[in-house]
Structure 1
Amino acid sequence: MQTNINLQGLRVAVTGGTSGLGLALVRQLAAMGARVAFVARTAENVERIADETGAHGIVGDVGKKEDIYAIALQVTASLGEIDVLINNASSLGPVPLALLADTDCEELEAALAVNLVGAFRLTKALFGALAASARAGRGALVINISSDTAVNAYPGWGAYGASKAALTHLAAIWDEEAKADGIRLLALDPGDMDTPLHALALPDADPSTLKSPELAAAEIIEKMLDALPARDTLTTGAVA
């Protein structure tokens, strides 16, 4: 793991940035000197995390079509341009988890609206800004936070797993299509984490058996740096 990482000047947007993995990413990226904009639905939480980290908070719901344009405008206005977009916001669908035969169509739609369509819309809205960053030689990267439910068939996780499987494949296709624009797209599975979302899905799970969001965030940042062509100019320090 890198130590003494300096991300001064790197411009990163994170969705779902006030809890769990998203919050850990915002905290670590800001502490490393990156310019960070984050999105979440609850104004009080957005204000609190913005005050704590110095990152730019944006109140919005990526699952709502009408919010996407305003979110994208605020991201570019606050950062100037954007080098990295992390599509982290997620919805479980039915709570408590339900078998597919017991899942309402609206619950499936809710998971798809946030986990797949919302990530697609925001990436599309910021695509021009990402391409501009790539043309400037800074690199451009979109990270879609996926899950092992995208590849493993767990009963009760149908809505979430199907949406994450689609998100993962979306990233693979778009990564091929965006090569000419210099934009990379990755889908990363952070593993089972001790987060509010996981507790909502499996309230009886033992937190000691789960990865901390802080460790998962550090691993994602390392993979982010590996994917950026300007890594050597962004990092200093030894490798532990």
Structure 2
Amino acid sequence: MQTNIDLQGLRVAVTGGTSGLGLALVRQLAEQGASVAFVARTTANVERIADETGAHGIVGDIGNKEDIYPIALQVTASLGGLDVLINNASSLGPVPLALLADTECEELEKALAVNLVGAFRLTKALFGALAASARGSRGALVINISSDAAVNAYPGWGAYGASKAALAHLTAIWDEEAKADGIRLLALDPGDMNTPLHALALPDADPSTLKRPEVAAAEIIEKTLDALPVRSTLLAGAHT
């Protein structure tokens, strides 16, 4: 795996960027020279991470339809375009986790609103910017963060797993459809990580058995570079 890669000029947007995997991605991408915009709901946290990393912080809720276009406009205005979108923001649905028979319809709707519909809406709103990047031979990529709960039937994970399964299949279909525009879409499972979301779902889990989000972020950045035609240009300035 490459380290200390120079990502100067790469324009990346990350949702859910103030904790867990999203925060690790924002930090590493910014440290490696990428221009980064990130989205999260809490103003104080957005301002703190923006000050810490130099990334462009955007306050918004991916699960709220009315927030999507303002977010998209701020992303493209801040970065001057977009090469990579990482849909990372996630909702568990019911907390504590619940069997489907005990899950309220509104809790399922919440998981779908963030994990599926929100990712769809934001990708659609930014599709033109991504297509423009692809036409400029920079390449364009959407990464949707998935989960093994999308393929394995874990009791209690129904709302989350169903939403992530739908996201994974939506990603596969859209990847086929977007080939003509030069845009790639990938669904990536980062594995079980020591994050606030995991702790919320399984508070008794042993953190030492979980992957550090920094490791998962580095793996995702590597896969991002593998999927972009600008990899050779970016790696020309790498210090390994």
TM category, shorter: over 0.9
Residue ranges of structure 2 left out of the alignment (5+ in a row): none
Alignment of 1:214-229 (within 5 A): 214-229=214-229
- Could you tell me which amino acid in structure 2 is paired with residue 164 of structure 1? K
Residues 26-175 of structure 1 mapped to structure 2, 5 A cutoff: 26-175=26-175
Give 1:12 shift: 0.1
Q: CA RMSD in A?
A: 0.7
Structure 1 segment 228-239 matched on structure 2, within 5 A: 228-235=228-235, 236-237=237-238
Segments of structure 1 that go 5 or more residues without pairing to the other structure are none
Q: CA shift at 1:173, angstroms?
A: 0.2
1:88 corresponds to which letter in structure 2? Answer: N
Letter of the 1:134 partner, please give it: A
Deviation digits for residues 161-191 of structure 1 (CA, Å, limit 9, x no counterpart): 0000000001000000000000000000000
| Structure 2 equivalent of residue 200 of structure 1 | 200
Aligned pair count reads: 239
Given the superposition, is the C-alpha separation of residues 76 and 29 from structure 1 closer, same or farther in structure 2, using an over 3 Å criterion? Answer: same
Identify the residue that residue 8 of structure 1 maps to in structure 2.
8
Detail structure 1 runs of 4+ shifted over 2 Å in the superposition. Answer: 236-239
Secondary structure of the 2:126 match is helix
Alignment CA distance shift 1:95-1:148 (3 Å): same
Identity %: 88
Are positions 1:179 and 2:179 aligned together? Answer: yes
What's the secondary structure of 1:214's corresponding residue?
Answer: helix
What is the alpha-carbon distance in structure 1 between the residues aligned to residue 13 and residue 194 of structure 2?
A: 23
Q: Distance in 2 between matches of 1:202 and 1:66?
A: 32
Query: Distance in 2 between the 1:170 and 1:66 partners?
Result: 22
Residue-by-residue CA offset, 1:31-50 (whole Å, 9 max, x unaligned): 00000000000000000000
Using the alignment, how far apart are the partners of 1:142 and 1:135 within structure 2?
A: 15
Q: In the TM superposition, what is the alpha-carbon distance from 1:3 to its structure 2 partner?
A: 1.9
1:190-216 CA distance string (max 9 Å, x none): 000000000000000000000000000
Letter in 1 for 2:119: A
Aligned equivalents of 1:220, 1:46: Cα separation in 2? 22
Separation in 2 of the partners of 1:26 and 1:100?
34
What SS does the aligned partner of 2:37 have?
strand
